[in-house]
Copies of this chain bind each other. A is one copy, B any other.
Amino acid sequence: MDRIDGRTPAQLRPLTIERSWSKHAEGSVLVAFGDTKVLCTASFTEGVPRWRKGSGEGWVTAEYSMLPRATNTRGDRESVRGKIGGRTHEISRLIGRSLRAVIDYKALGENTIVLDCDVLQADGGTRTAAITGAYVALADAISWAQGKKIIKPGRKPLTGSVAAVSVGIVGSTPLLDLCYEEDVRAETDMNVVCTGDGRFVEVQGTAEGAPFDRTELDALLDLGATGCADLTKGQLAALAE
């Protein structure tokens, strides 16, 4: 099967990770998975929410949003509608959980990092691009705080790295990193979030059409793990610059 953009089934879209995109944020990354572009900023503030005060532990949370015309037809702003939709809630929570999986709260100390992931242009896989980019912004914000000695010397709030990718079955073939057109046609859609050492942080698979069997599930997990490993290399390369 030929993919719409000529990729092989197990091939990622071109990945770019542009660090220090914004002059204000402690970490800021414009990440692109092909035509999907997400601006990820990490805002570091001293102090923690009320329910965590005095614990000696920090907090990391995330908010995801799409610009109204990030997609092919304009969507209403959630601020105008006056409420956040279920999809936005779900993705924000996923990003937050994924990044917290590589955080040592004690080492972070009573500091808070908020990851804002704003989709500037969408072409499938916005949540996985967001996680992948947010990790780099998070690493930069932590380096910034270490440089400022806000995080005590010798402490390592990051216990590893995290990346994410979508996989799906389109016309019986398992494909890596679906673009929008593939995503629409997928019978099964899965998001896989892995640490840099190849373990799973989150696995979310959904039958869009017919239910899937264990063999298909296994193939998707294999593909997702491979894709995350490739993304991890891209993150390391970006952070090495």
- Chain A residues within 8 Å of B, Cβ to Cβ: 22-25, 28, 35, 39, 41, 43, 45, 63, 65, 67-74, 77-90, 92-93, 97, 101, 114, 116, 118, 120-123, 160, 190, 194-195, 197-207, 210-214, 217, 221, 225
Contacts and interface: CB of A to CB of B under 8 A. Distances in A.
Given A121-B22, A200-B212, A211-B201, A116 B78 contact: no
B45 A74 contact: yes
A167 B210 CA distance: 23
A121 B23 CA distance: 8
3 A-B pairs with least C-beta separation:
A86-B89, A199-B211, A78-B79
A69 B145 CA distance: 17
B69 A41 contact: yes
Nearest to A42: B69
A108 B118 CA distance: 32
A68 B114 CA distance: 10
Contacts of A198: 213
Given A200-B214, A200-B217, A121 B69 contact: no
Given A77-B63, A203-B203, A221-B217, A116 B69 contact: yes
7 contacts: A23-B123, A43-B74, A65-B77, A68-B116, A74-B114, A79-B79, A202-B206
Contacts of A89: 85-86, 89-90
Contacts of A25: 69
A190 B205 CA distance: 11
B214 A221 contact: yes
A227 to B, nearest CB: 15
Contacts of A80: 63, 84
A86 B92 contact: yes
Nearest to A213: B199
Contacts of A121: 22-24
Contacts of A205: 200, 202-204
B202 A120 contact: no
A50 to B, nearest CB: 15
Nearest to A67: B118
Interface centre among A43, A69, A72 (most CB of B within 10 A): A69
Contacts of A190: 203
